[in-house]
Structure 1
């Protein structure tokens, strides 16, 4: 796995696995709960606590959202990257097939990048003989598009 920057490379596909609506509601709920903790001390303290906690949770959610990026030479999923020459066939999974791919049919040696709020998955075969990882399995809102790019 090479350490290559996407600066100067043509990005073919890029997707941030951003939090879903439920996670944003949790961030808002954290702020509201913090307000109720601080409000008995003083209403302004509750307001400040609520805003700070909601903002911190939102920042953490965005900062920890992995990115899937495909360039002509590299595939990146989160912090992992591999040269495209070592990428085999890619396959998209939806619904029950996605659940099975991430559960009972999962190879424990696979690299995984899941987000609970994104059900569809894409599986990318790794054909590097020096890499013991058989495939990468990642959540994606557009797994078929990723599969088409990598297979095309």
Structure 2
């Protein structure tokens, strides 16, 4: 299992550029509210900043974790026994698997700002999901942790 290995834990945070764009949007909101007065402008900027911060932080808070006995990807939690082979996907392969090669039944943890991914087969016959598509910045590391954590076929 994960003995001697550090468990995998990745947070798919949004790029810094998104924060800059959001800050510029809030600044534009402030400029737009200037004719209403200083108090409405400050209130609008504060509310806009809070809203943008919550939205970006929430969207970027999704995690992929491999812990003792399970893979947790966003809202999905699967036992390692239910998983088959894992494949690291480069940017080109990832684009294909999230578009024309995608299966509508697959679980997709997609973040468009992360170009690489991992595809993990689901071998549980009771689960109609054929595979998991997981956006990740470290596909090779995730694949090696999944392979090391998989129970030995007996």
Say yes or no: TM over 0.5: yes
Question: In the alignment, is residue 70 of structure 1 matched against residue 37 of structure 2?
Answer: no
- Aligned residue pairs: how many? 143
Q: 44-53 vs 56-65, which deviates more?
A: 44-53
Cα displacement string for residues 12-60 of structure 1 (whole angstroms, at most 9, x for unaligned residues): 1111111112321232122112202211111343233223212321122
* Partner residue in 1 for 2:12: 17
- What's the CA shift for 1:95? 1.9
TM-score normalised over the length of structure 2: 0.85
| 1:47 equivalent in alignment to 2:81 | no
Q: Are 2:22 and 1:27 aligned? A: yes
Structure 2 spans left out of the alignment, 5+ residues: 149-154
Task: Quote how far apart the aligned CAs of 1:80 are.
Answer: 0.7
Question: How far apart are the structure 1 equivalents of 2:36 and 2:12?
Answer: 38
SS of equivalent residue, structure 1 residue 52: helix
Of 111, 132, 135, the match for 1:136? 132
- Cα RMSD after superposing both structures: 1.7
Q: CA deviation at 1:11?
A: 7.2
Distance 1:135 1:120, change over 3 A: same
User: Which residue number in structure 1 is paired with residue 103 of structure 2?
Assistant: 107
